Amino acid sequence: MTAAVWLSLFGCTPGPGRHGDRQGGATGEKGVLAGRFIAVLGDSDMNAAPAGTLFQRSDRDRLTVLALPITPPAGGEPRWSTRLAQVPASNSALGPPGALAITPDGKRAYVIEAFTPAGRTRDGLATDVGGVLPGESVTPIDLSEPSAPRALAPVPVGLSPQSVDVHPSGQYVAVATTEPGQQIVLLNVGNEATRPLAWPLLGINLDEPAAVGTILWHPTGRYLAIALPELDQVALLEFAKDKASGLPSLAPWGAPVRVPSTPSNLRFTPDGRHLLVTSINAPRSALSGALPAGSLTAVRLSEVPSETSVAGAALRGLVDHRVVSSQPVGPLPEGLAVSPGGELVVVACWRGPSLFAGAAVAQGGGLFAFRIDSETGALSVATVRQLTGVPTALAFDARGEHLIVAQLRSADPAAVDGELDFYRVSGLRPVADSGAGRVGGAIRLEPLGFAVGVGPGPHALVVR
């Protein structure tokens, strides 16, 4: 079932203790958010609750689609309108980032179910993280009309899928799972009659099976990056199609790269030269109490392009991916976004820049912005903004002039549902039609002074 409604949003000036993250908002710029729509995935079982505690509202998992632009009304009244549609989509915020992927043309979304909805389990009613059961499917959602999204039949892909991404061509969907020996699954969505194909962790020597975390296609579609949180590594695989059969194949592209402990989120720079990795620096199971600072790492990808071709075979062993820069960020760095021009990287952390030691409830977070040198991969701090809400996911708008932040809990201490907040990114020169953006002056993240409520547990965000 789909719900589509018009929302009226107030460009308000918040009072003390309410919506502090949006004070000083530039409300006159809401209408310039670039793109067709914002899609945000919400897990109704997880709000900003005590660590390990679930709310029993499993029937409210939703994909929310918010139309752009958000436009001012006639007459100058302080109300701004947009069209919002929702469709049921079972999902879980308990896994690594990457539960939602959307094709480049915006016509199809894919949602993974890492865990089934909280509720009845084999041992009774689930009341904590350990009580929920693993999922096994990815759900396609038809977005050909964003105002009327439609969920299609789920596709089984293996035990507890962890993340999903769509090939730049839109033809293949990659899914990471915890299924031993079948951790990497490819769906040929361009030919739905074909069955999913599965691979083990190629080129990695393991005494015991290890799970894949986030999975991500390279901008060229030629490579896949995978996070290996239990091994503190990221690995690169080369994707190709057999000339005779046309079937896809995967092969290692160089040796895995060691990164700080428990790599979480991944993003390529738009030029494909660097892979950006956030790390939690603590086991994912340790989500309460005092957590260490996280980190952002830049990995320079090898200039040796291939190991599977004849030429590549001669160069085997020369592929050299290497860490070139690393910066500390706040704890639990789950959100990660790169500007369309590739010059700015923003990380969302749950409890930074200050560490809320011993806090039983997630309270506050931070946005850490870094410039990245396109030649060297060097990261330098651009700005840090402290939030009283709990940010979980980030996305730039199509021009890179605005940043959208999904918050598990808003700045309002009485709120239990999540919201989207909006920031203007100043200090960047606009992205030209060629896609080349350049850093201008000092970077600032300026709140636009309004928010959109999107229901409980927002944790994945895509702009098209």
> CA-CA distance, 458 to 464, in Å (whole number)?
17
> CA-CA distance, 52 to 366, in Å (whole number)?
22
Q: What is the pLDDT along the chain (464 residues), one digit of tens a residue?
A: 444 554 544 433 232 233 446 554 444 455 678 999 999 999 987 654 444 444 445 557 999 999 998 866 566 555 566 789 999 999 998 889 999 999 999 999 999 999 887 665 555 555 555 667 899 999 999 999 999 999 999 999 999 999 999 999 999 999 999 998 899 999 999 887 678 999 998 877 666 667 789 999 999 999 999 999 989 999 999 999 888 888 899 999 999 999 999 999 999 999 999 999 999 998 766 655 667 899 999 999 999 877 565 455 555 668 999 999 999 999 999 999 999 999 999 999 986 443 333 333 446 899 999 999 999 999 999 999 999 888 999 999 999 999 999 998 776 666 678 899 999 999 986 555 444 444 457 999 999 888 888 888 899 999 99
For the chain, the distance separating the N- and C-terminal CA atoms, rounded to the nearest angstrom, is 23
The closest alpha carbon to 154, from 119, 109, 200, 184, belongs to 109
Residues 6 or more apart whose CB falls under 8 angstroms from that of 216 comprise 98, 165, 224, 225, 226, 266, 267, 268
> CA-CA distance, 200 to 178, in Å (whole number)?
10
pLDDT at 28: 44
Contact 276, 234 (CB under 8 A): no
The closest alpha carbon to 402, from 352, 448, 333, belongs to 448
Domains and CATH numbers, the chain: 3-331 (2.130.10)
Residue 104: count other Cβ atoms within 10 Å of its Cβ: 11
pLDDT at 300: 98
Can you give 363-404 as a three-state secondary structure string?
A: CCEEEEEEEECCCCCCEEEEEEEEECCCEEEEEECCCCCEEE
The closest alpha carbon to 455, from 144, 63, 8, 34, belongs to 63
At 248, phi and psi to the nearest 5? -75, 150
Here the tokens at position 21 are: 């993250």
CA dihedral for 259, 260, 264, 270, sign (positive or negative): negative
Strand partners, 8: 81
The closest alpha carbon to 174, from 114, 225, 234, 242, belongs to 225
The one-letter amino acid at 11: G
The closest alpha carbon to 323, from 282, 275, 374, belongs to 275
Numbers of helices and strands, H then E, in the chain = 1, 33
Strand partners, 329: 294
pLDDT at 430: 57
Here the tokens at position 143 are: 């977005």
> CA-CA distance, 452 to 447, in Å (whole number)?
13
Strand partners, 234: 227, 257
Q: Tell me the three state secondary structure of residue 109.
A: strand
pLDDT at 10: 40
Here the tokens at position 180 are: 């031993």
Here the tokens at position 204 are: 């990695």
The one-letter amino acid at 266: L
